[in-house]
Amino acid sequence: MIKLKTQKEIEVMAEGGKILVGIMKGLGEIVKVGIKTSELNRVAETLILKSGGKPSFKGYRGYPAVICTSVNEEVVHAVPSERRLEEGDIVSLDIGMEYKGFHTDMARTFAVGKISSKAKKLIEVTKEALKIGIEEVGVGNTLGDIGFAIQKYVESQGFGVVRELCGHGIGKEIHEDPQILNYGEKGTGYKIKEGMVLCLEPMVTAGDWRLEKAKDGHGFKTKDNSLSCHFEDTVAVLRDGVKILTVIR
């Protein structure tokens, strides 16, 4: 069941989203060669708790950490560890936070030092795919419109769109209905209504889009070990348009 939010609830989520953006910015500033992904997790937890929020992911379905730190061929949900980031890596940081009873969720992919031209293009395309998807969010459009637009753009750039994972609704629960695919057909799926709050999160691969479980038991990686990238924003559907609750300016 899709749970529509009131204007007041969206205002609370916007407040939480603004805080989460600040935390993501802080993490992006310390992504560098040699840092352990466990250190990024430690800093994220400190910042979330200091802000008055609670980590959304820790303990959710047995997940042991506060953030997901997915490196290179890891797509999403990789558990922070003693792994040190190396020159040329790309790392996707996915963070969720509960604030005043409501969750927000976002992801960004960062370059570690100097990266290859292919990795740079992958990041640029995934970031643009998120923007294109958000442009399709509006009262009367469908979820299929979002997936179609993302898929068409990503594949036109020579990359693959992950099929096995998707975006989602969000609110009092970190994952709510509906599921939001990053591929699909125009005019299909749920019609978008005022009060929906959605997490759009294109996951894009440099090679084949098929996935398999990572060794940590939580993460997913590309089957062919090709690079992967992930961007995500929480967006609210208003009567007169869309408000991105996790926008980084």
Give residue-wise pLDDT tens across range 95-114: 999 999 999 999 999 999 99
- Average pLDDT, integer, range 2-17: 98
Does residue 15 belong to any structural domain of this protein?
yes
Domain holding 236, by residue range, is 7-242
Residue 2 domain-assigned? no
Mean pLDDT of all residues in 159-170: 98
Is 180 a domain residue?
yes
Per the structure, how many domains does the chain have?
A: 1
Mean pLDDT of the chain: 97
> pLDDT of 70-89, one tens digit each?
999 999 999 999 999 999 99
Q: What mean pLDDT is predicted for residues 186-197? A: 97
Please report whether residue 104 resides in a domain.
yes
Q: Mean pLDDT across the stretch 125-152?
A: 98
| Domain-located, residue 100 | yes
Supply the pTM of this predicted model: 0.97
Whichever domain contains 179, its CATH number is: 3.90.230.10
What are the CA-CA distances from residue 66 to residues 54, 84, 97, 120, 137 (Å)?
Answer: 9, 18, 9, 27, 29
pLDDT for 249 beyond 80:
no
Q: Is residue 29 part of a domain?
A: yes
Question: What is the pLDDT averaged over residues 58-78?
Answer: 98
In a domain, 1, yes or no: no
Q: Is residue 247 situated within a structural domain? A: no
